[in-house]
Amino acid sequence: VPTTDTTVTVRVPAKVNLFLGCGLLRGDGFHDLTTVFHAVSLFDEVTVREDDELSVEVSGEGEGDVPLDETNLAVRAARLLGERLGIRPEVRISLHKGIPVAGGMAGGSADAAGALVALDALWGAGLTREALHAVAAELGSDVPFALHGGTALGLGRGDQLTSVLARGVYHWVFALAEGGLSTPAVYAELDAWRADADPRPVSSPDAVLGALRGGNAKALGAALDNDLQVAATRLRPALRRTLEAGRELGALGSVVSGSGPTCAFLVGSAADALTLAASLSAAGVCRAVRTAHGPVHGARIVATEI
Ligand code: ATP
Protein backbone atom coordinates (compact mmCIF):
# COMPACT_ATOMS: atom_id res chain seq x y z
CA VAL A 1 0.00 0.00 0.00
CA PRO A 2 1.49 3.37 -1.01
CA THR A 3 2.66 5.46 1.92
CA THR A 4 3.08 8.68 -0.10
CA ASP A 5 1.58 10.35 -3.18
CA THR A 6 4.95 11.81 -4.12
CA THR A 7 5.83 11.73 -7.80
CA VAL A 8 9.30 12.32 -9.23
CA THR A 9 9.80 13.17 -12.91
CA VAL A 10 13.14 12.83 -14.69
CA ARG A 11 13.94 14.04 -18.19
CA VAL A 12 16.47 11.99 -20.19
CA PRO A 13 18.00 12.72 -23.60
CA ALA A 14 18.51 10.61 -26.73
CA LYS A 15 22.02 10.00 -28.01
CA VAL A 16 23.69 9.95 -31.38
CA ASN A 17 27.10 8.35 -31.90
CA LEU A 18 29.37 10.87 -33.63
CA PHE A 19 31.90 8.08 -34.05
CA LEU A 20 31.42 4.36 -33.57
CA GLY A 21 34.38 2.06 -34.18
CA CYS A 22 33.45 -1.58 -33.68
CA GLY A 23 36.18 -4.11 -32.91
CA LEU A 24 35.98 -7.82 -33.61
CA LEU A 25 33.52 -10.08 -31.79
CA ARG A 26 34.85 -10.99 -28.31
CA GLY A 27 34.58 -14.36 -26.60
CA ASP A 28 31.76 -13.07 -24.40
CA GLY A 29 29.62 -12.16 -27.42
CA PHE A 30 30.29 -8.42 -27.19
CA HIS A 31 32.33 -6.17 -29.45
CA ASP A 32 34.99 -3.80 -28.19
CA LEU A 33 33.74 -0.34 -29.04
CA THR A 34 35.34 3.03 -29.38
CA THR A 35 32.52 5.50 -29.57
CA VAL A 36 31.83 9.21 -29.12
CA PHE A 37 28.37 9.71 -27.61
CA HIS A 38 26.56 13.01 -27.94
CA ALA A 39 23.32 13.77 -26.04
CA VAL A 40 20.68 15.64 -28.09
CA SER A 41 17.48 17.47 -27.21
CA LEU A 42 14.97 14.71 -27.91
CA PHE A 43 13.74 13.60 -24.50
CA ASP A 44 11.80 10.90 -22.69
CA GLU A 45 10.17 11.71 -19.35
CA VAL A 46 10.09 9.10 -16.63
CA THR A 47 7.68 9.63 -13.71
CA VAL A 48 7.55 7.30 -10.69
CA ARG A 49 5.13 7.01 -7.77
CA GLU A 50 4.53 4.41 -5.07
CA ASP A 51 1.84 1.84 -5.88
CA ASP A 52 0.64 -1.63 -4.83
CA GLU A 53 2.85 -3.39 -7.36
CA LEU A 54 5.43 -2.73 -10.08
CA SER A 55 3.91 -1.59 -13.36
CA VAL A 56 4.68 0.60 -16.36
CA GLU A 57 2.55 2.71 -18.71
CA VAL A 58 3.71 4.41 -21.90
CA SER A 59 2.50 7.44 -23.81
CA GLY A 60 3.87 9.47 -26.71
CA GLU A 61 5.77 8.65 -29.86
CA GLY A 62 5.78 4.92 -30.74
CA GLU A 63 3.98 4.01 -27.50
CA GLY A 64 2.51 0.85 -29.06
CA ASP A 65 5.97 -0.59 -29.74
CA VAL A 66 7.21 -0.43 -26.16
CA PRO A 67 6.80 -3.63 -24.11
CA LEU A 68 4.84 -3.33 -20.84
CA ASP A 69 6.21 -6.54 -19.30
CA GLU A 70 9.39 -7.48 -17.44
CA THR A 71 11.49 -6.82 -20.57
CA ASN A 72 10.82 -3.07 -20.38
CA LEU A 73 14.17 -1.53 -19.51
CA ALA A 74 12.66 0.86 -16.95
CA VAL A 75 11.04 -2.12 -15.18
CA ARG A 76 14.37 -3.96 -15.20
CA ALA A 77 16.02 -0.84 -13.76
CA ALA A 78 13.45 -0.69 -10.92
CA ARG A 79 13.95 -4.40 -10.12
CA LEU A 80 17.75 -4.14 -10.09
CA LEU A 81 17.89 -0.93 -8.04
CA GLY A 82 15.34 -2.34 -5.58
CA GLU A 83 17.43 -5.50 -5.22
CA ARG A 84 20.59 -3.47 -4.58
CA LEU A 85 18.87 -1.27 -1.98
CA GLY A 86 16.79 -4.04 -0.38
CA ILE A 87 13.55 -2.21 -1.28
CA ARG A 88 10.51 -3.88 -2.88
CA PRO A 89 9.99 -1.94 -6.14
CA GLU A 90 6.26 -1.33 -5.72
CA VAL A 91 6.03 1.62 -8.07
CA ARG A 92 4.07 2.84 -11.05
CA ILE A 93 6.44 3.99 -13.82
CA SER A 94 5.02 6.35 -16.46
CA LEU A 95 7.10 6.82 -19.59
CA HIS A 96 6.44 9.67 -21.97
CA LYS A 97 8.36 8.94 -25.16
CA GLY A 98 9.91 11.68 -27.27
CA ILE A 99 12.79 9.45 -28.39
CA PRO A 100 11.96 7.29 -31.43
CA VAL A 101 11.54 3.61 -30.41
CA ALA A 102 14.09 1.14 -31.84
CA GLY A 103 15.67 4.01 -33.76
CA GLY A 104 19.31 3.68 -32.67
CA MET A 105 18.95 6.62 -30.29
CA ALA A 106 18.95 4.55 -27.08
CA GLY A 107 15.41 5.32 -25.97
CA GLY A 108 15.08 2.20 -23.84
CA SER A 109 18.44 2.89 -22.20
CA ALA A 110 17.29 6.46 -21.52
CA ASP A 111 14.22 5.13 -19.71
CA ALA A 112 16.37 2.80 -17.61
CA ALA A 113 18.64 5.70 -16.62
CA GLY A 114 15.63 7.90 -15.90
CA ALA A 115 14.06 5.23 -13.70
CA LEU A 116 17.31 4.88 -11.70
CA VAL A 117 17.52 8.62 -11.00
CA ALA A 118 13.79 8.94 -10.24
CA LEU A 119 13.68 5.95 -7.88
CA ASP A 120 16.88 6.97 -6.11
CA ALA A 121 15.05 10.22 -5.27
CA LEU A 122 11.64 8.64 -4.50
CA TRP A 123 13.26 6.15 -2.12
CA GLY A 124 15.61 8.76 -0.63
CA ALA A 125 18.57 6.49 -1.29
CA GLY A 126 21.04 9.26 -2.14
CA LEU A 127 23.33 7.04 -4.22
CA THR A 128 26.45 8.66 -5.63
CA ARG A 129 26.84 9.14 -9.39
CA GLU A 130 29.43 6.33 -9.33
CA ALA A 131 27.05 3.91 -7.61
CA LEU A 132 24.24 4.74 -10.07
CA HIS A 133 26.70 4.33 -12.95
CA ALA A 134 27.60 0.82 -11.75
CA VAL A 135 23.93 -0.24 -11.67
CA ALA A 136 23.38 1.44 -15.06
CA ALA A 137 26.25 -0.49 -16.66
CA GLU A 138 24.65 -3.78 -15.56
CA LEU A 139 21.44 -2.83 -17.37
CA GLY A 140 23.05 -2.10 -20.74
CA SER A 141 25.99 -0.56 -22.57
CA ASP A 142 24.18 2.71 -23.38
CA VAL A 143 22.60 3.28 -19.96
CA PRO A 144 25.60 4.96 -18.24
CA PHE A 145 25.80 7.58 -20.99
CA ALA A 146 22.11 8.46 -20.56
CA LEU A 147 23.01 9.36 -16.93
CA HIS A 148 26.15 11.22 -17.99
CA GLY A 149 24.90 13.28 -20.98
CA GLY A 150 26.98 15.89 -22.78
CA THR A 151 29.61 14.49 -25.13
CA ALA A 152 31.72 11.54 -24.00
CA LEU A 153 34.15 8.93 -25.26
CA GLY A 154 32.93 5.40 -24.55
CA LEU A 155 35.26 2.39 -24.48
CA GLY A 156 34.79 -1.31 -23.68
CA ARG A 157 31.14 -2.08 -24.39
CA GLY A 158 30.63 1.70 -24.55
CA ASP A 159 30.11 1.91 -20.79
CA GLN A 160 33.58 3.16 -19.79
CA LEU A 161 33.02 6.89 -20.17
CA THR A 162 35.30 9.92 -20.23
CA SER A 163 33.97 13.42 -20.87
CA VAL A 164 35.42 15.07 -23.95
CA LEU A 165 36.03 18.74 -24.49
CA ALA A 166 33.37 19.99 -26.91
CA ARG A 167 33.01 23.68 -27.77
CA GLY A 168 29.80 25.15 -29.07
CA VAL A 169 26.33 23.92 -29.88
CA TYR A 170 25.64 21.54 -32.76
CA HIS A 171 22.41 21.52 -34.73
CA TRP A 172 20.88 18.29 -35.98
CA VAL A 173 18.14 16.92 -38.16
CA PHE A 174 17.01 13.35 -37.56
CA ALA A 175 15.22 11.41 -40.28
CA LEU A 176 13.08 8.71 -38.67
CA ALA A 177 12.39 5.54 -40.62
CA GLU A 178 9.38 3.27 -40.86
CA GLY A 179 9.91 0.41 -38.35
CA GLY A 180 12.96 -0.21 -36.17
CA LEU A 181 16.14 -2.23 -36.58
CA SER A 182 17.17 -4.78 -33.96
CA THR A 183 20.59 -3.91 -32.53
CA PRO A 184 21.75 -7.59 -32.31
CA ALA A 185 20.68 -8.14 -35.95
CA VAL A 186 22.77 -5.16 -37.06
CA TYR A 187 25.87 -6.44 -35.22
CA ALA A 188 25.31 -9.92 -36.70
CA GLU A 189 25.09 -8.42 -40.19
CA LEU A 190 28.35 -6.52 -39.58
CA ASP A 191 30.09 -9.74 -38.48
CA ALA A 192 28.78 -11.60 -41.55
CA TRP A 193 29.84 -8.82 -43.90
CA ARG A 194 33.29 -8.64 -42.32
CA ALA A 195 33.75 -12.39 -42.72
CA ASP A 196 33.23 -12.00 -46.49
CA ALA A 197 34.82 -8.64 -47.17
CA ASP A 198 38.29 -7.42 -46.35
CA PRO A 199 37.62 -5.46 -43.19
CA ARG A 200 38.66 -1.86 -43.59
CA PRO A 201 41.49 -0.72 -41.31
CA VAL A 202 40.45 0.18 -37.78
CA SER A 203 39.54 3.86 -37.76
CA SER A 204 40.14 6.31 -34.92
CA PRO A 205 37.95 8.95 -33.29
CA ASP A 206 40.75 11.56 -33.50
CA ALA A 207 39.16 13.61 -36.31
CA VAL A 208 35.85 13.78 -34.41
CA LEU A 209 37.57 14.69 -31.12
CA GLY A 210 39.68 17.38 -32.84
CA ALA A 211 36.62 18.94 -34.49
CA LEU A 212 34.77 18.99 -31.14
CA ARG A 213 37.73 20.64 -29.38
CA GLY A 214 37.82 23.35 -32.04
CA GLY A 215 34.05 23.80 -32.12
CA ASN A 216 34.25 23.23 -35.87
CA ALA A 217 30.90 21.98 -37.18
CA LYS A 218 32.14 21.65 -40.75
CA ALA A 219 35.07 19.46 -39.70
CA LEU A 220 32.76 17.45 -37.43
CA GLY A 221 30.37 16.87 -40.33
CA ALA A 222 33.20 15.50 -42.45
CA ALA A 223 34.48 13.27 -39.63
CA LEU A 224 31.17 11.59 -38.59
CA ASP A 225 31.76 7.84 -38.86
CA ASN A 226 29.92 4.70 -37.81
CA ASP A 227 31.08 1.11 -38.47
CA LEU A 228 27.48 -0.10 -38.03
CA GLN A 229 26.31 2.03 -40.97
CA VAL A 230 27.36 -0.53 -43.58
CA ALA A 231 25.35 -3.21 -41.78
CA ALA A 232 22.29 -1.01 -41.20
CA THR A 233 22.21 0.02 -44.88
CA ARG A 234 22.62 -3.60 -46.04
CA LEU A 235 19.58 -4.54 -43.94
CA ARG A 236 17.70 -1.42 -45.02
CA PRO A 237 18.97 -0.27 -48.46
CA ALA A 238 16.49 2.64 -48.53
CA LEU A 239 18.67 4.37 -45.92
CA ARG A 240 21.31 5.02 -48.60
CA ARG A 241 18.84 7.25 -50.43
CA THR A 242 17.98 9.10 -47.20
CA LEU A 243 21.66 9.74 -46.38
CA GLU A 244 22.35 10.86 -49.94
CA ALA A 245 19.34 13.22 -49.96
CA GLY A 246 20.55 14.95 -46.79
CA ARG A 247 24.00 15.50 -48.27
CA GLU A 248 22.55 16.79 -51.56
CA LEU A 249 20.36 19.17 -49.57
CA GLY A 250 23.40 20.73 -47.93
CA ALA A 251 24.01 18.91 -44.62
CA LEU A 252 27.58 19.29 -43.26
CA GLY A 253 27.62 15.55 -42.65
CA SER A 254 25.42 12.51 -42.27
CA VAL A 255 25.58 9.28 -40.33
CA VAL A 256 23.30 6.43 -39.31
CA SER A 257 22.58 6.87 -35.60
CA GLY A 258 23.91 3.91 -33.60
CA SER A 259 22.43 0.73 -35.07
CA GLY A 260 19.86 2.73 -37.07
CA PRO A 261 17.56 3.15 -38.81
CA THR A 262 17.42 6.82 -37.78
CA CYS A 263 19.73 8.99 -39.93
CA ALA A 264 21.41 12.03 -38.35
CA PHE A 265 22.38 15.15 -40.31
CA LEU A 266 24.60 17.89 -38.93
CA VAL A 267 23.84 21.45 -40.09
CA GLY A 268 25.26 24.89 -39.28
CA SER A 269 22.39 26.56 -37.42
CA ALA A 270 18.90 26.09 -35.98
CA ALA A 271 17.50 27.83 -39.08
CA ASP A 272 19.39 25.43 -41.37
CA ALA A 273 17.95 22.55 -39.36
CA LEU A 274 14.37 23.71 -40.02
CA THR A 275 15.13 24.16 -43.72
CA LEU A 276 16.72 20.73 -44.11
CA ALA A 277 13.92 19.08 -42.11
CA ALA A 278 11.32 20.58 -44.45
CA SER A 279 13.29 19.53 -47.54
CA LEU A 280 13.79 15.95 -46.33
CA SER A 281 10.05 15.72 -45.58
CA ALA A 282 9.20 17.04 -49.04
CA ALA A 283 11.64 14.59 -50.67
CA GLY A 284 9.70 11.71 -49.11
CA VAL A 285 12.84 9.86 -47.98
CA CYS A 286 11.75 9.21 -44.38
CA ARG A 287 8.70 8.66 -42.13
CA ALA A 288 9.18 11.82 -40.08
CA VAL A 289 11.82 14.40 -39.20
CA ARG A 290 12.94 15.97 -35.92
CA THR A 291 15.31 18.86 -35.25
CA ALA A 292 17.46 18.99 -32.12
CA HIS A 293 20.65 20.43 -30.67
CA GLY A 294 23.44 19.03 -28.56
CA PRO A 295 25.13 18.59 -26.23
CA VAL A 296 22.48 18.52 -23.50
CA HIS A 297 22.52 17.24 -19.88
CA GLY A 298 22.04 13.62 -18.91
CA ALA A 299 19.13 12.33 -16.77
CA ARG A 300 17.87 15.07 -14.44
CA ILE A 301 14.97 15.54 -12.09
CA VAL A 302 12.62 18.14 -13.56
CA ALA A 303 9.71 17.91 -11.10
CA THR A 304 8.88 16.54 -7.66
CA GLU A 305 5.28 16.75 -6.47
CA ILE A 306 4.42 15.90 -2.90
P1 ATP B 1 20.02 1.18 -28.86
O2 ATP B 1 20.45 2.31 -29.72
O3 ATP B 1 20.29 1.36 -27.40
O4 ATP B 1 20.39 -0.16 -29.35
P5 ATP B 1 17.44 1.71 -29.87
O6 ATP B 1 17.42 3.18 -29.65
O7 ATP B 1 17.67 1.19 -31.24
O8 ATP B 1 18.45 1.09 -28.88
P9 ATP B 1 15.19 1.37 -28.18
O10 ATP B 1 14.25 2.51 -28.42
O11 ATP B 1 16.01 1.41 -26.96
O12 ATP B 1 16.08 1.13 -29.45
O13 ATP B 1 14.33 0.05 -28.24
C14 ATP B 1 14.85 -1.21 -28.61
C15 ATP B 1 13.87 -2.28 -28.19
O16 ATP B 1 13.88 -2.34 -26.78
C17 ATP B 1 12.44 -1.97 -28.57
O18 ATP B 1 12.11 -2.62 -29.77
C19 ATP B 1 11.63 -2.48 -27.41
O20 ATP B 1 11.03 -3.72 -27.67
C21 ATP B 1 12.61 -2.67 -26.28
N22 ATP B 1 12.36 -1.81 -25.08
C23 ATP B 1 12.41 -2.20 -23.83
N24 ATP B 1 12.15 -1.21 -22.97
C25 ATP B 1 11.93 -0.13 -23.71
C26 ATP B 1 11.62 1.22 -23.40
N27 ATP B 1 11.45 1.63 -22.14
N28 ATP B 1 11.49 2.08 -24.41
C29 ATP B 1 11.65 1.67 -25.68
N30 ATP B 1 11.92 0.41 -26.04
C31 ATP B 1 12.08 -0.50 -25.07
261 Cβ closer than 6 Å to some ligand 1 atom: no
In sequence order, what E strands does the chain have? Answer: 7-25, 31-50, 55-60, 91-97, 151-156, 160-163, 170-176, 225-226, 253-256, 263-267, 288-294, 300-305
Categorize the per-residue pLDDT at 223 as very low, low, confident or very high, splitting at 50, 70 and 90.
Answer: very high
Percentage of the chain exceeding pLDDT 70: 98
260 Cβ closer than 6 Å to some ligand 1 atom: no
Please state the rounded mean pLDDT for residues 37-51.
98
Tens digits of residue pLDDT in 6-33: 999 999 999 999 999 998 888 888 889 9
* Ligand 1 centroid from CA 104, angstroms: 8
Integer Cα distance of 142 and 150 in angstroms:
13
Report the range of poorest mean pLDDT among 173-177, 190-194, 265-269, 295-299. 190-194
Give me the chain's average pLDDT, please.
95
For ligand 1, atom 30: residue with the closest CA? 108
The answer, yes or no, to whether residue 1 has pLDDT greater than 80, is no
* CA quadruple 36, 260, 132, 60: dihedral, nearest 10: 130
C-alpha distance from residue 185 to each of 12, 19, 109, 180, 231 (Å): 26, 20, 18, 11, 9
Integer Cα distance of 251 and 243 in angstroms:
10
Prediction pTM value: 0.95
42 Cβ closer than 6 Å to some ligand 1 atom: no
For ligand 1, atom 12: residue with the closest CA? 102
* Ligand 1 centroid from CA 108, angstroms: 4
Categorize the per-residue pLDDT at 197 as very low, low, confident or very high, splitting at 50, 70 and 90.
Answer: confident
- Helices (DSSP H) in 152-269: which residue ranges? 183-196, 206-214, 217-223, 229-235, 238-248
Tens digits of residue pLDDT in 228-283: 999 999 999 999 999 999 999 999 999 999 999 999 999 999 999 999 999 999 99
Mutate to test the pocket of ligand 1, among 71, 101, 109, 183 (most ligand atoms within 8 A of CB): 101
107 Cβ closer than 6 Å to some ligand 1 atom: yes
Atom of ligand 1 lying closest to residue 140 CA: 3
C-alpha distance from residue 136 to each of 103, 114, 115, 132, 251 (Å): 20, 10, 10, 6, 34
Q: What is the pLDDT of residue 201?
A: 66
